[in-house]
Amino acid sequence: MPRTCSPAGGITFAPRVPHRYERGRGTFPRMELELHPSVVLESGTFGILIAPGEAIVPPLDRLLEELERFLVLYVCGNYSRLLSCIHRRHRNFEIRRSFTAFQLLQILSEARHTLVFIEYDPTLFEEGMELERSLPRACRDVAQHAIVLLYSPAMDRHLHALAREADRVFYLGTLAPRSPGPRAPPARVRRLPRDQRTLEAF
């Protein structure tokens, strides 16, 4: 996947073949939301965000305040890393929990919101429902009338598969420095006789 880097340190990946969606018909306005200088969300798109929780909570709080007049759906699974840290003050913020893969797909099929934020739960992919195929399809359907963002603190094999179906994959955080490899032993220096100025050619 091609990638672009921003001055803020984020990386955005775009799929090799971007998906073309039909924009939602009706009165749904075209929107662009800036979650972070490196993460600009656009209506009609399905994105994936990889970031540590401490990096995403403050901008998510700010975004929720900006979207107070709009319907926001927060979907999480058996356990949420972020909900206890998010200030959920406005009345249009709805939380749905999905304890099975089927429930997750059902929640998405019923979503009629401006922003759908999905907190990734890897345990839902252990049920053998081919969620790697069905979840991107469901997210693309919702994205016809909403902004869909799937969040995870780290990448894994399931997210790698989902990323191939997303419009954008955003990465926030410091890239881990490459660990230094074993230092090569110093080259042996062959001493030249005092009267010899070059090495012999072999």
Higher per-residue confidence, 176 vs 123: 123
Q: What is residue 24's predicted lDDT score, i.e. its pLDDT?
A: 42
pLDDT at 14 over 70: no
pTM value surpassing 0.85: no
Q: What is residue 68's predicted lDDT score, i.e. its pLDDT?
A: 84
The per-type count for the chain, helices as H runs and strands as E runs, is 4, 10
**Mean pLDDT of the 129-140 span:** 92
Model confidence pLDDT, tens digit, residues 50-93: 999 999 999 999 998 888 889 999 999 988 999 989 887 777 89
Question: For the chain, where are the E strands, in sequence order?
Answer: 3-5, 11-13, 32-36, 39-42, 46-50, 72-76, 93-97, 115-119, 147-152, 168-171
**Mean pLDDT of the 21-42 span:** 70
Could you tell me what percent of the chain has a pLDDT over 90?
A: 53
**Cα separation, 124 vs 147, whole angstroms:** 22
What are the structural domains of the chain?
A: 3-171 (3.40.50)
Model confidence pLDDT, tens digit, residues 34-60: 998 889 999 999 999 999 999 999 999
Count other Cβ atoms within 10 Å, centred on residue 76: 20
Q: What is residue 11's predicted lDDT score, i.e. its pLDDT?
A: 53
> Phi and psi (nearest 5°) for 12?
-115, 125
| 179: confidence class by pLDDT, cuts 50, 70, 90 | very low
**Mean pLDDT of the 120-140 span:** 90
Residue labelled with tokens 């963002």: 149
Q: What is residue 114's predicted lDDT score, i.e. its pLDDT?
A: 93
> Phi and psi (nearest 5°) for 120?
-65, 130
**Cα separation, 31 vs 67, whole angstroms:** 11
Q: What is residue 189's predicted lDDT score, i.e. its pLDDT?
A: 39
Model confidence pLDDT, tens digit, residues 89-109: 777 899 999 999 999 999 999
Mean pLDDT is highest, among 161-170, 173-182, 189-198, for 161-170
Q: What is residue 90's predicted lDDT score, i.e. its pLDDT?
A: 74
Residue 5 forms beta bridges with which residues? Answer: 11
